[in-house]
Amino acid sequence: MVKNRLIQNHIDSGLLHTHSFINGQWLDTGMDTLTVYSPIDQQPLINLSQVSESQITSAIESSVKAQQKWKKTPANSRREKLKKWLALIEKHKDDLAQIISLENGKPVSEALVEIDYGASYIDWFADQAIRIKGDILVNQNNQQIWLNKQAVGVVYAITPWNFPNAMITRKVAPALAAGCSIILKPSELTPLSAIALTTLADKAGIDPGVITLLISNHAEQVSQQIMADKRVRKVSFTGSTRVGKLLCQQAAKTMKRTSMELGGNAPFIVCDDADLDLAVDAAIAAKFRNAGQACVAANRFYLSQTIATTFTEKLVQKLKDLFENKTEQSLIIGPMITEQAKTKVLSWIEAAIAQGAKKVYTAKCRNDGQYLAPTVINNISSEMALFQNEIFAPVIAITHFDKLSDVIAQANNTDAGLAAYCFSQNLETITLLNNELEYGMVAINQGSLSNAIAPFGGIKDSGLGREGSDYGLDEYLDLKYTNLVI
Candidate segments 68-76, 83-91, 185-193, 477-485, binder of ligand NAD by CB under 6 A:
185-193
Rounded-to-integer distance, Cα 469 and Cα 123, Å? 12
Query: Contacts with ligand NAD in 221-240 (CB under 6 A)?
Result: 223, 238-240
Candidate segments 23-31, 259-267, 278-286, 374-382, binder of ligand NAD by CB under 6 A:
259-267
Question: Which one among 108, 113, 219, 444 touches ligand NAD, defined by CB under 6 A?
Answer: 219
What residues are labeled active site?
A: 261, 295
Binding of residue 243 to ligand NAD (CB under 6 A) = yes
Question: Which one among 119, 151, 154, 158 touches ligand NAD, defined by CB under 6 A?
Answer: 158
Question: Which one among 160, 174, 334, 417 touches ligand NAD, defined by CB under 6 A?
Answer: 160
* 8 A C-beta contact, residue 105 and residue 217: no
Binding of residue 465 to ligand NAD (CB under 6 A) = no
Give the DSSP per-residue string, 1-34: -THHHHHHTT--GGG---SEEETTEEE---S-EE
Binding of residue 120 to ligand NAD (CB under 6 A) = no
Question: Which one among 168, 262, 357, 397 touches ligand NAD, defined by CB under 6 A?
Answer: 262
- The contact mask relative to ligand NAD for 412-451 (x = CB under 6 A, - = no) is ------x---------------------------------
Binding of residue 213 to ligand NAD (CB under 6 A) = no
Rounded-to-integer distance, Cα 46 and Cα 3, Å? 5
Closest by CA position to 269, among listed 422, 439, 441, 425: 422
Q: Determine the distance from the C-alpha atom of residue 330 to the mean position of all C-alpha atoms in its chain, rounded to a whole number.
A: 25
Within 71-107, where are the H helices? 75-91, 93-104
Residue 452's CB is within 10 A of a number of other CB atoms, namely: 24
Q: Which residues pair with 456 in a beta bridge?
A: 467
Candidate segments 17-25, 140-148, 256-264, 307-315, binder of ligand NAD by CB under 6 A:
256-264
Question: Which one among 39, 164, 174, 264 touches ligand NAD, defined by CB under 6 A?
Answer: 264
Binding of residue 472 to ligand NAD (CB under 6 A) = no
The residue (of 214 and 322) whose beta carbon lies closer to ligand NAD is 214
Rounded-to-integer distance, Cα 27 and Cα 422, Å? 50
Candidate segments 11-19, 56-64, 74-82, 156-164, binder of ligand NAD by CB under 6 A:
156-164
Rounded-to-integer distance, Cα 353 and Cα 378, Å? 9
Binding of residue 114 to ligand NAD (CB under 6 A) = no
The residue (of 118 and 263) whose beta carbon lies closer to ligand NAD is 263
Binding of residue 459 to ligand NAD (CB under 6 A) = no
Residue 328's CB is within 10 A of a number of other CB atoms, namely: 4
Binding of residue 169 to ligand NAD (CB under 6 A) = no
* 8 A C-beta contact, residue 262 and residue 463: yes
Give the DSSP per-residue string, 296-364: T-EEEEEEETTTHHHHHHHHHHHHHHHHTS-STT-------SSHHHHHHHHHHHHHHHHTT-EEEEE-S
Instruction: Tell me the residue nearest to ligand NAD as measured from the CB.
Output: 239
Rounded-to-integer distance, Cα 229 and Cα 211, Å? 18
Residue 416: DSSP 8-state: -
Q: Considering the complex, what minimum distance in angstroms separates the CB of residue 359 from ligand NAD?
A: 25
Q: Which residues pair with 258 in a beta bridge?
A: 235
Binding of residue 38 to ligand NAD (CB under 6 A) = no
Q: Considering the complex, what minimum distance in angstroms separates the CB of residue 167 from ligand NAD?
A: 6
Q: Using CB under 6 A, list all residues that contact ligand NAD.
A: 158-162, 185, 187-188, 219-220, 223, 238-240, 243, 246, 261-264, 295, 390, 418, 463
